[in-house]
Structure 1
Amino acid sequence: MSTLQDTPYASASVRWLTLLSICVATFLMPMSMSAVNVALPAIAADLNADAVLVSWIPTMNLLGAIALQLPAGRIADMIGRKKVFLAGVLLFSLSSFAITLVDHIGWLLLMRLLQGISGAMIFGTGMAIVSQVFADHGRGMALGLTSTSVYLGLTCGPPIGGWLTEWWDWHAVFLAPLPLAVICAVLVWIHVQETERKLDERLDWVGSLLFIVASSLFFIGLSELPDWTGIILGSLGLALLGLFVYQQEHTPYPLIRLRRMVKNTVFFRSIQASFFMYAANYPLQFLLSLYLQYIRGLSPAEAGQLMLLQAMMMAILAPIAGRLSDRFEPRIPATLGSLLFGVGFLILAMLNQDSGLEQVVLALLVMGTGFGLFSSPNNNGALSVIPTDKLSIGSSLLNISRTLGNMLGMAVVVFLFNLMIGNAQLVPEQYPALMDLLELAFLLCCGYCLLAAWRSWSRGKVHVYVETK
């Protein structure tokens, strides 16, 4: 087994081939995710799913990702990032193929849970590998290109999902990523060097189980509010999370030393900013897909083509912003991006059933600019202050903040559906209630963006922090 040191990546060609292999996977996951959002009405009609069950299709993906994120990062630091990364790609491929065989919404939701677990394995190691390889060769730019691959996936997902849904059916949306998964696995197997195995460390099985159960109960509880079931499950989840924090401070092999993380102001506030930004971003495509297809009557392909505008702006700006964060303080572009993202949600909150599509286009362009300015500098700032041997767990924590934000954003949306629409089918009689829900959700997302801007600016100066360590 090779040891990940400077020598294997001294060659620029090896570094870039390694980056390419990671970018293929980070393209694959968001492409599948955004394509599914466009196919939701077709899935609902085919499987007879009500509004709440439809909202669980993107949500189950998050549940799997959040529950396994910390254990996956810890295992990767112990046995090797390459192994965990490849296992994640394999699980994603198998669960995607299995979805094409289901004929009931329950089985589909289970497969989406497995896809979320595979995402935890891929994203928990992908950024760590890139950060290690490019530590002394423009890490911000490399992370920016990794972010670009995510946004290109988001860009291609909606039109691909729309076209496949119209020309074939929604099952094809889950088959389309499989060839890319094979390419990704081959590239990673050939070009990525394995990290050194840490035989003197152990996985904290008790802490892992506590975290999985606690995060799952809390997530399910949020989605069941305001019922008493939701209150009980959410409270139990919070109690177990408190027990997890206590247990992590008293075990010899913790998943994470939370007290040490909180003391690292730059890293802690960077992941807080990421949490709030993704709480705003994740429900966006789901909500816009409902507005464009149900309220405005667009086809899946038309809705997908319109929604790709935001991701196109992200893809263009992410590597530029990442490069800037190598030279200037990351909090400057990241904070500006958070504020612009909030402006886009204000524009969307003013939509009504007769609004012109130009208003949606303007909002998506502003939001794409904002998120493109935020993502790469924020990731670069966070990972710049993490020791090399802790990059996988640092990457996992950064992705946990993203996934927790996604979870909060979608849990609030599911709660709004329970409260304002319930189990009713989304028929024209429900459109006024749907518009009220969309307006409230967009305003809440704007509030998340303001909180992200506050935490982003208050993180301090990253370059000064690194120089003094």
Structure 2
Amino acid sequence: MTASQLQDFYDTHAKARWLALLSVCLAIFVTSVSMSAASIAIPSIARDLDASARAVSWMPTSFLWGNIVLLLPAGRLADLVGRKRMYITGVTLFSLLSLFVFLVQDIASLLTLRVFQGFSVALITATSMSIIGAVFANSNRGAALGLTSSSVYLGLSCGPIIGGWLTQEFGWRAVFWMPTPVMLIALMLIFSFVKGEWKSAQVERLDKLGSLLFAAWVSAFFIGMSDVEDMAHLTSLALGFVLLYVFIKQQGRAESPLIRISALRANRVFSRSILSSFLMYSANFPIVFLMSLYLQYIHELSPFEAGQLVLIQTFIMMVLAPISGRLSDRYEPRYLATLGCLSFALGLALLLRLDMDTSLTYVFVGLIFLGIGFGLFSSPNNNAIIGSASKDKLSIASALVGLSRNMGNLFSTGVVMMLMSIMLGSQSIGPDNLDQLLWVVRVVMVLTLISALCACYYSFTRGRIH
């Protein structure tokens, strides 16, 4: 099918569009569950594999590194050889790799498996939003993107619950193999109902040198941010910035680059939407971790009680994402996304006043504003990104969305770990250092508030897509 014939097919076959969306939502839900559920299984993994605390601490990191390092090359390759083909490859690989957990006998093998799972998820991340953007190009794109966002939030929210139940009832390996049947359903749906293929009409090659440079600077930056107080890690961080500079220069000279830097700069809507995404994810990611510590150590709540309270933010995000996405099909995304940034900033401003005696009702209200803010921001912002990208670059646009999210998460995690190390060092958190913990919470709230306000500026000044 030609591109116009494909579009006519999906415009007249609504069922095929929504079943394609169901496939993508299932795949995204499963990969999100995999990210958060594995963390719950870490104590069982450590006991069963006789692994040290330092070794098992690399469980989330190894997955995240595998995902980030392949995102841009995967997005570019999907635009060249076909988005559907790359999506199917990612889903199939993830399913097969999940079954390899039965062969794991030591922590090194499991960490290697997590890296390769990260690779497979990069293929899914780089293509899922671009497939939805193509299938829903003429109607309901914002609503569809909103449902994909809700799938992420639902997966991350359900992950700890599902992971805990699977680990308790079937053992930690079930956390890895149990998602396979769901992925097979996603695979069946995409094979059965997604017709045709989307790829660039231009015959180009993958920029291999650019891909290596990208992997190198991400790896150096990743290692550096893992311990910013250590000189070797600081050296790695500095090397990461140097490699980033070399990567940008190389992309400007390459015949078929991963990213056309000049085109990215010229597309104001796209570039500022990506920057807004990085800033908002940087602001949002530390909240659950810090609020969990604050509620458990200062308010002496149980982990379950703290989790229930913090979950209100994620629940609101999940409910609002498809609604704000649908609204962004009718109204300018920048207005909705900017309103979201302001609501998120208001929630952070409220939480700036946290102290030893702050009521749980006050905390609850602050988290509600955070949930409303991110729920209003994410789907319209993604709609603006996909809507402002050219049709033959949708996969690289989808990859950049994932990259901005993960790099924002990584950057803010590094900042929080640095502040925790400065104030608490190697001490265990207890009654004697709760003031230091509260100081870390407040400083991070200030930094995240600044980040959210900067995101607000770039969101509002991005321009129009309608």
- Counterpart in the other structure of 1:466: none
Greater mean deviation of Cα atoms: 246-255 or 98-107? 98-107
Instruction: Label 1:7 to 1:404 Cα distance change in 2 as closer, same or farther (>3 A).
Output: same
Question: Equivalents in 2 of 1:170, 1:300: separation in Å?
Answer: 20
- Counterpart in the other structure of 1:467: none
- Counterpart in the other structure of 2:79: 77
Residue 213, structure 1, aligned to residue 216, structure 2: yes
Task: Select 2:204's aligned residue among 181, 201, 207.
Answer: 201
Deviation of 1:283 after TM superposition, in Å, equals: 2.8
- State percent identity of aligned pairs: 47
Residue 121, structure 1, aligned to residue 123, structure 2: yes
Deviation of 1:119 after TM superposition, in Å, equals: 2.5
Residue 239, structure 1, aligned to residue 242, structure 2: yes
Q: Can you give the 5+ residue segments of structure 1 that lack an aligned partner in the other structure?
A: 464-469
Greater mean deviation of Cα atoms: 307-316 or 293-302? 293-302
Partners of 1:63 and 1:216 within 8 A in 2: yes
Residues 366-387 of structure 1 show CA distances to partners (whole Å, capped at 9, x for unaligned) of: 2111111001111111211111
Greater mean deviation of Cα atoms: 222-231 or 35-44? 35-44
Question: Equivalents in 1 of 2:181, 2:363: separation in Å?
Answer: 33
Question: Equivalents in 1 of 2:156, 2:302: separation in Å?
Answer: 18
- Counterpart in the other structure of 1:64: 66
| CA RMSD of superposed structures (Å) | 3.1
Counterpart AA for 1:131: G
Question: Equivalents in 2 of 1:158, 1:399: separation in Å?
Answer: 22
Residues 30-57 of structure 1 show CA distances to partners (whole Å, capped at 9, x for unaligned) of: 233333455567767886755x777654
Q: How many residues are aligned here?
A: 462
Deviation of 1:266 after TM superposition, in Å, equals: 0.7
Matched residue SS, 2:226: helix
Matched residue SS, 2:36: helix
Instruction: Label 1:110 to 1:426 Cα distance change in 2 as closer, same or farther (>3 A).
Output: farther
Task: Select 1:340's aligned residue among 340, 343, 362.
Answer: 343
Task: Select 1:86's aligned residue among 85, 88, 91.
Answer: 88
- Counterpart in the other structure of 2:314: 311
- Counterpart in the other structure of 1:323: 326
Deviation of 1:300 after TM superposition, in Å, equals: 5.0
What is the TM-score when the length of structure 2 is the normalising length?
A: 0.88
Counterpart AA for 1:5: L
Partners of 1:77 and 1:390 within 8 A in 2: yes
Partners of 1:159 and 1:304 within 8 A in 2: no
Greater mean deviation of Cα atoms: 170-179 or 326-335? 170-179
- Counterpart in the other structure of 1:25: 27
Any residues of structure 2 matched to 1:399-410 within 5 Å, and which?
399-410=402-413
Residues 260-308 of structure 1 show CA distances to partners (whole Å, capped at 9, x for unaligned) of: 1111111100000001011122233333444455665655544443333
- Counterpart in the other structure of 2:18: 16
Residue 379, structure 1, aligned to residue 386, structure 2: no
Deviation of 1:453 after TM superposition, in Å, equals: 0.8
What is the TM-score when the length of structure 1 is the normalising length?
A: 0.87
Question: Equivalents in 2 of 1:128, 1:202: separation in Å?
Answer: 20
- Counterpart in the other structure of 1:442: 445
Deviation of 1:144 after TM superposition, in Å, equals: 1.6
Question: Equivalents in 2 of 1:436, 1:168: separation in Å?
Answer: 41
Matched residue SS, 1:278: helix
Partners of 2:30 and 2:182 within 8 A in 1: yes
Instruction: Label 1:115 to 1:437 Cα distance change in 2 as closer, same or farther (>3 A).
Output: farther
Partners of 1:81 and 1:194 within 8 A in 2: no
Question: Equivalents in 1 of 2:181, 2:355: separation in Å?
Answer: 41
Counterpart AA for 1:71: P
Counterpart AA for 2:411: L
Partners of 1:219 and 1:411 within 8 A in 2: no
- Counterpart in the other structure of 2:394: 391
Question: Equivalents in 1 of 2:451, 2:234: separation in Å?
Answer: 23
Greater mean deviation of Cα atoms: 223-232 or 269-278? 223-232
Partners of 1:99 and 1:108 within 8 A in 2: yes
Question: Equivalents in 2 of 1:107, 1:291: separation in Å?
Answer: 35
Question: Equivalents in 1 of 2:344, 2:431: separation in Å?
Answer: 30
Q: Can you give the 5+ residue segments of structure 2 that lack an aligned partner in the other structure?
A: none
Partners of 1:337 and 1:371 within 8 A in 2: yes
- Counterpart in the other structure of 1:462: 465
- Counterpart in the other structure of 1:262: 265
Matched residue SS, 1:193: coil
Deviation of 1:73 after TM superposition, in Å, equals: 0.2
Greater mean deviation of Cα atoms: 116-125 or 295-304? 295-304
Partners of 2:251 and 2:257 within 8 A in 1: yes
